[in-house]
Amino acid sequence: MTPLIEVRGLKKHFPVRKGVFSRVTGQVRAVDGLSFQIAPGETLGLVGESGCGKSTAGRTLLKLLEPTGGEIRVGGTDITHLDREAMLPFRRRMQMIYQDPYASLNPRMSAGDIVAEPLVIHGEGGTKAESRERIAALFEKVGLRAALMDNYPHEFSGGQRQRIGIARALALGPELIVGDEPVSALDVSIQAQIINLMMDLQDEFGLSYLFVAHDLAVVEHISHRVAVMYLGRIVEMTDKKSLFEQPLHPYTEALLSAAPIAKSGAKQRRRIILTGDVPSPIDPPSGCHFHTRCPYAAARCREEAPLLREVMSGHLAACHLHEDGMPAA
């Protein structure tokens, strides 16, 4: 089966400018060579600490940011260098749910007009009656009463506003939705409602998700596979069961050891405290980016960047410890 999304060596670097003449003095390597696939109907969780580049990766995938390098394929078609007009058919197939459910909605537009906006942009608004009927159906689909269509964003709760954002993302019938930490700004009880709604919509419409998050409990609940990012690179990727039960990268081990145990009877992990701060993406460490904080780092780690390779069936890790079959810990 052809993957819905295929990313090869994706990079997004931002120039650093200083001085009166704004001379370029360096680059922020926000995304530094990502490769992954997303199948139809699959959710890939993208997880990591703040500043690791995961949100930038999602925006670059949708070409809201122009890639610095690499390749993006949608249904086998390379869209990496398409101009704005040529991208229009692909915009319909890929939509986004934003992190802040208030800032992402225009306060001067009614909720109905916000949801209808993608249809208007793509010339699918139809008559006023047809448009209202279509928007009303979307409101009901995301758990909002159609009678609220004429209300404005400030009249809704945070969870309701995020439902409006989901309805807007659904308006054009997309195949992929990128969720940029879509529940991190919500109360825990509301988070569960939104996650369950997204999963129900996935089952109903066969949606694929790239779910960007830092909360491992949320990622475990919604994802089929998980990719762990550190300083612009994927360091581990596999199905969620394998990742949570047998992590292969020291960074993943540390993340999981810090996460609360939600399941009754589950064994508490040994707490791993990482020393030092996350290095700057302007001047990342040589070799393996994680070696400055890794408890198992060796001389080779400081000199040679490990490749993301299959260590076990379907389980990829970028760590020299596994190149000779030696487990991380």
Structure confidence at residue 328 (pLDDT)? 41
Q: With CA atoms as reference, report the closest residue to 94 among 220, 214, 7.
A: 7
97-121 per-position pLDDT tens digit: 999 888 889 999 999 999 999 999 8
Structure tokens at 110: 């009614």
Alpha helices by DSSP H, listed for 21-96, are 54-61, 84-93
Q: Is residue 313 a part of any domain in this protein?
A: yes
Listed residue (9, 8, 43, 34) closest to 175, CA to CA:
43
Over residues 284-312, the pLDDT tens digits come to 999 999 999 998 889 999 999 999 999 99
Whether residue 237 is contained in a domain is answered as: no
Mutual orientation of helices 111-121 and 158-170 as an angle, nearest 10°? 20
Range of the domain at 256: 244-329
DSSP conformation class of 273: P
Domain count, the chain: 1
Q: What three-state secondary structure class fits 253? A: helix
Measured between alpha carbons, how far apart are the two ends of the chain, in Å? 36
State the pLDDT at residue 127.
84
Could you tell me where the beta strands, DSSP code E, fall in 174-232? Answer: 176-180, 208-213, 225-230
In a domain, residue 42? The reply is no
Q: Listing from the earlier edge strand, what are the strands of the sheet with 315-317?
A: 94-97, 176-180, 208-213, 43-47, 225-230, 233-239, 315-317, 309-312
Q: Residue 217: inside a domain, yes or no?
A: no
**Any residues with CB less than 8 A from the CB of 109 and at least 6 apart, and which?**
117, 152, 153
Phi, psi of 32 (to 5 degrees): -130, 50
Q: With respect to residue 286, please indicate whether it lies within any of the assigned structural domains.
A: yes
Report if residue 81 sits inside a domain. no
- Where does residue 231 fall: left (phi above 0), alpha (psi -120 to 50 degrees), or beta otherwise? left
Assign 23 to helix, strand or coil: strand
Question: In this predicted structure, what is the pLDDT of residue 263?
Answer: 53
Helix or strand or coil: residue 120?
Answer: helix
The pLDDT of residue 212 is: 96
pLDDT in tens, the chain (329 residues): 689 999 999 999 999 888 777 787 789 999 999 999 999 999 999 999 888 999 999 999 999 999 999 999 999 999 999 998 999 999 999 999 999 888 889 999 999 999 999 999 888 878 888 889 999 999 999 999 999 999 999 999 999 999 999 999 999 999 999 999 999 989 988 999 999 999 999 999 999 999 999 989 899 999 999 999 999 999 999 999 999 999 999 999 999 987 765 554 455 567 776 777 788 889 899 999 999 999 888 999 999 999 999 999 999 999 998 875 444 43
Greatest Cα pair distance in the chain: 69
Residue 193 counted as domain residue: no
Asked whether residue 262 is domain-assigned, the answer is: yes
CB 253 within 8 A of CB 296: no
